[in-house]
Amino acid sequence: MKKILLIATGGTIASGMTENGLSPQIDAEELLSFLPEYAEICDVDCIQPFSVDSTNITPGHWLKIANVIEKKYTAYDGFVVTHGTDTLAYTAAALSCLIENPEKPIVLTGSQRPISDADTDAKKNMLDSLRFAASGHQGVCVVFGGRIIDGLRAKKIRTKSDDAFRSINAPEITAAKKHSKNVKFYYNLCRDVFLIKLTPATDKSVFGFAKRFRGVVVEGYGLGGIPDCYLDKVIELAENGTVVAITTQVMYEGCDLSVYEVGRQIKGKKGIIETFSLTAEAVTAKLMFALGQTDDADRIQQLFIQ
Ligand code: ASP
């Protein structure tokens, strides 16, 4: 039987009602005790590196999860990380960068209602995750609401319903994927990254403020267009050494700076990274990862193309 490590980190799935509202209350073992059926799928050991509402997740938590997986890597056939849904897409993207080419499944899951609720979606999500973790898949993925999504492609699209995640700009995973590469763990993330979501009323001074960061993600419009009034500011930011990653506010189909004048004006400029089909969550995690490895803008662009 496959040996799976359950890494519980909190979230709604482990929450109970308190006088101050829902918050994580139960540990990994207790979570597993709701699922006696797991014993027919795999052997499971439990570990609980921390227990938080995922609203409170920071890059330090991502590194901690990656560290647990690295330490236990040879002892297990796969890993299931239970996590709050609110920032799960960021954690999945960060782990996809920090753990390159895993030969084992690393599955993130959670639920919209606590596992102790009569109508919980947690049991299905956990059993689906354990089944997929025992499948021999090689990579980081999100299993949720009956869908299997690559770790760099997940986005939370619903705040309440079971079917809460979508795969953005990539097909869902339908069967275990294999590769013939070797795993590599990374340990550095740059936290000095900021995100600007443009509105028609955004004040130009935001770009002056952004100068203090090593990386800035700009959520432009449509295919990634940047309004003329900010053009000089964005170019100046990049010329001053801040890496500027352009993404879009639109959920599907990504950006392409080659189509409109408002995109071409910045396309290919040094220090400006075009992020194509990645979500803003994935772009943010990837930029933090890339700047954790190098300062070189060309190398960073390469990391985005990979
Ligand atoms: N606020 C919760 C969290 O992200 C929501 C959830 O888990 O569904 O931890």
**Would you give per-residue pLDDT tens digits along the chain (306 residues)?**
999 999 999 999 999 999 999 999 999 999 999 999 999 999 999 999 999 999 999 999 999 999 999 999 999 999 999 999 999 999 999 999 999 999 999 999 999 999 999 999 999 999 999 999 999 999 999 999 999 999 999 999 999 999 999 999 999 999 999 999 999 999 999 999 999 999 999 999 999 999 999 999 999 999 999 999 999 999 999 999 999 999 999 999 999 999 999 999 999 998 999 999 999 999 999 999 999 999 888 889 888 877
Q: What is the pTM of this model?
A: 0.97
Question: What's the rounded Cα separation, in Å, for the pair 176 and 163?
Answer: 21
What type of residue sits at position 255?
C
Q: Does ligand 1 come within 6 angstroms of the Cβ of 78?
A: no
| Amino acid 156: pLDDT | 98
Residue 89 CA to residue 106 CA, distance in Å, equals: 14
- Comparing CA positions, the residue from 240, 230, 239 lying closest to residue 207 is 230
Tell me what pLDDT residue 305 has. Answer: 78
Q: Return the pLDDT at 306.
A: 73
Tokens of 5: 């490590």
Check pocket membership of 162 for ligand 1, CB cut-off 6 A: no
Number of Cα atoms under 13 Å in the Cβ half of residue 282 = 25
User: CB 188: neighbour CB atoms within 10 A?
Assistant: 12
Distance 112 CA to ligand 1 centre (A): 7
Task: Report which of 113, 177, 111 is spatially closest to residue 149, judged by C-alpha positions.
Answer: 177
For ligand 1, is residue 145 a contact (CB within 6 Å)? no
Whether 284 is in the pocket of ligand 1, judged by its Cβ within 6 Å, is: no
Q: What's the CA-to-centroid distance between 264 and ligand 1, angstroms?
A: 39
For residue 33, the surrounding DSSP H or E stretch is helix 28-33
291 closest CA partner among 257, 226, 241: 241
97 three-state secondary structure: helix
Query: What is the C-alpha to C-alpha distance for residues 145 and 1, in angstroms, rounded to an integer?
Result: 25
Distance 237 CA to ligand 1 centre (A): 35
CA 208 to centroid of chain Cα atoms: 28
From 9, 12, 160, the mutation candidate for ligand 1 (largest count of ligand atoms within 8 A of CB) is 12
**Helix H or strand E segment including 133:** helix 122-133
**Substitution site in 9, 54, 83, 160 for ligand 1 pocket (most atoms within 8 Å of beta carbon):** 54
Ligand 1 touching residue 128 (CB < 6 A): no
Cβ partners under 8 Å of residue 26, min gap 6:
14, 16, 115, 116
Closest CA to 204 of 222, 223, 231, 224: 231
Which residues are designated catalytic? 12
Measured CA to CA, the distance from residue 62 to residue 60 in angstroms comes to 5
| d(CA 295, ligand 1 centre) in Å | 34
Domains of the chain by start residue, with CATH:
3-185 (3.40.50.1170), 193-305 (3.40.50.40)
* Any atom of ligand 1 within 6 Å of the Cβ of 11: yes
Query: Ligand 1: does its nearest atom lie under 6 Å from the Cβ of 110?
Result: yes
CA 16 / ligand 1 centre spacing (Å)? 12
Residue 36 has a pLDDT of 96
Task: State residue 7's pLDDT score.
Answer: 98
Tokens found for residue 206: 């935001």
